[in-house]
Chain A
Amino acid sequence: MSSTAEAIVKPAGTPPAVDLREEFETSGVREVLAELDRDLIGLAPVKKRIRETAALLLVERARKSMGLAQETPTLHMSFTGNPGTGKTTVALRMADLLHRLGYIRKGHLVSVTRDDLVGQYIGHTAPKTKEVLKRAMGGVLFIDEAYYLYRPENERDYGQEAIEILLQVMENQRDDLVVILAGYSERMDRFFQSNPGFRSRIAHHIDFPDYTDEELLKIAETMLAHQHYVLDEEALTVMRDYIAKRRGQPHFANARSIRNALDRARLRQANRLFETSKGPLDATALSTISAEDIMASRVFSIAAKAARAEQ
C-alpha cells in the first residue's frame, strides 16, 4: 500500500461526506458575504479575495471534520491600500467571518497602532505588547500602519522588540489569534522586505484599490442616506465635479475625504438655513443639501486658481 493511499484512510467516527452548500448556509458565512456585498460599495477584487478565502476555510474545516487535516491554516493577513479604502471595515467583517467559521473563538477586533505596542523606555515595550496581545486573544489583532513599528533609521528603536514578540506569538499561537497588518501599499512592501519574518508568516495579502468617481458618489449618497440627508439634482452634479477635482489634490483619502466633505457641507447647509430662512422649515428643507453648500468648498477655488495659473 502506498503512503498516499494510507493518508486518505480516514479515522473511525468521522462523517462519510460533507455538504459544502449546507455548511455554507448553516455556518452563517453566506450571510456575512451577502452583507459585505450589500454594505460595501465597489472593492470588487477585495470581495473576490474574501470569497475565495472563505471557500478555502470552509473546505479546510470540512477536511478537518473528516480527519484529513490537523494543522490550523495560517490566517494572518495583510491589507494594503490607500487611506480611506475600507481596510478597517473589512477587517471587522473578516473577524466576524472567522468567528462564524470557528477559526477564532470570540470574534472581536482589537485595533491598534504603533503607540499601543511600543513603549517609551527600556523594558516598557514587552509588557505593553503582551498586554495588547492578551486582549486580542480569541479574536483579531488589527495593526494599522504597521510599518511604523520598524524604524531603520534608529537602531535603538523599541519597535524591533514589539516585532519580535508579535512574530513569536503569530507563529506559536495560531489557534489563539489572527493578526491583520494594514497600511499603504508601497510602505508595506518596504516593511515586508526589511522584515522577511512577517512576509513568510502572512498567508493572505489583500490589496484594496482606490474607488472610482462613480463609486465615491454612490458612497456619498449612502453616507447621507444613513444620516437622513439627500443631495438635490444640482448638488449631485456638483458633487461629481467635486470628487473629480478633490482626487487631483494632495491628501486625498478616498471615502474618508468624502465623509469630511459631507460633514462640512452639512455645516454650511445649517448655516445657510439659519441665515436665510424667514418662516418655518419643513423636513425636506432640513434634509436637503443643495449645490451651493458644496460649491463653497475650498476644493473649487484651489482648482480654479490652478487652472488660471496654467493659462
Chain B
Amino acid sequence: MRITQGAFSFLPDLTDDQIRAQVQYCIDNGWAVSLEFTDDPHPRNTYWDMWGHPMFDNPDAAALMMDLAECRKIYGDRHIRVVAFDSSHGWESVKLSFIVNRPAEEPGFRLERQEIAGRSIRYTTKSYAADRPAGERYG
C-alpha cells in the first residue's frame, strides 16, 4: 500500500527534474530545505532522521539534489522526504514537505482491534514493515 503523506503524495512519483523545480521554488521563497529519512512511515511518526543540515544559505537546488543522490545511495530502501522550513518570524515551521523516495515495496498497515471494558473497541494501525527491527524493514 502506497503511503500518502506530505504534498503531492497522491500524484505519481515526482521525477528528479520536478523535485528540483519544487526545491528551487522553496529556496526562492527563502525557506531552508533539508532531507529526512525513515523506515517507520507511520502517519503519526513526525520525527524522521535528518540527513545533513538544513540549507539556509544555498541559493540553488543543485545542492539539495547532490545530497539527495547521496542519501539515496545509502538509504535508497527507505522513505526520504524534502522538508522546507520557513524561519521567518511568526511562522518558524515547516511550510512544505513531500516524499522523494520510496522503498520498492511498501507492505502497508494493518488495523488492530483491542477489546476493552464495556464492549468498547479501541483501534490502532500498525505498519507491517515495523514488525522487523529498524534497519531491516525494507531490505
Contact = CB atoms under 8 A, between A and B. Distances in A.
Interface stretch (A53-61, A132-140, A241-249, A286-294): A132-140
B62 A108 contact: no
B3 to A, nearest CB: 29
A175 B66 CA distance: 12
Contacts of B66: 130, 133-134, 137, 169, 173, 176
B55 interface: yes
A176 B24 CA distance: 13
Interface string B40-55: 0000000000000101
Chain B residues touching A, majority SS:
mixed
Interface residues of B, number: 11
Contact of B60 (A106, A130, A131, A169): A106
A177 B60 CA distance: 10
B62 A173 contact: yes
A138 B58 CA distance: 9
Nearest to B60: A138
Contacts of A130: 66
Contacts, number: 38
B63 A134 contact: yes
A177 B59 contact: no
B126 to A, nearest CB: 37
A108 B58 contact: no
A135 B62 contact: no
Interface in A167-208: 169, 173, 175-177
24 contacts: A105-B60, A105-B62, A106-B59, A106-B60, A108-B59, A130-B66, A131-B53, A133-B63, A133-B66, A134-B58, A134-B63, A134-B66, A134-B67, A135-B57, A135-B63, A137-B62, A137-B63, A137-B66, A138-B59, A138-B61, A139-B59, A139-B60, A173-B66, A177-B62
Lowest 8 A-B CB distances belong to which pairs?
A138-B60, A134-B63, A137-B62, A176-B62, A137-B60, A137-B63, A106-B59, A134-B58
Interface of B: 53, 55, 57-63, 66-67
Interface residues of A, number: 16
Contacts of A138: 59-62
A134 B60 CA distance: 8
Contacts of A176: 60, 62, 66
Nearest to A106: B59
Nearest to B53: A131
Contacts of B63: 133-135, 137
Contacts of B61: 137-138
Interface string A99-132: 0000001101000000000000000000000110
Contacts of A105: 60, 62
Nearest to B67: A134
A181 B57 CA distance: 22
A130 B67 CA distance: 9
B54 to A, nearest CB: 12
Contacts of B58: 134-135, 137
Given A105-B62, A134-B55, A139-B60, 14 more contacts: A106-B60, A130-B66, A134-B58, A134-B63, A137-B58, A137-B59, A137-B61, A137-B66, A139-B59, A173-B62, A173-B66, A176-B60, A176-B66, A177-B62
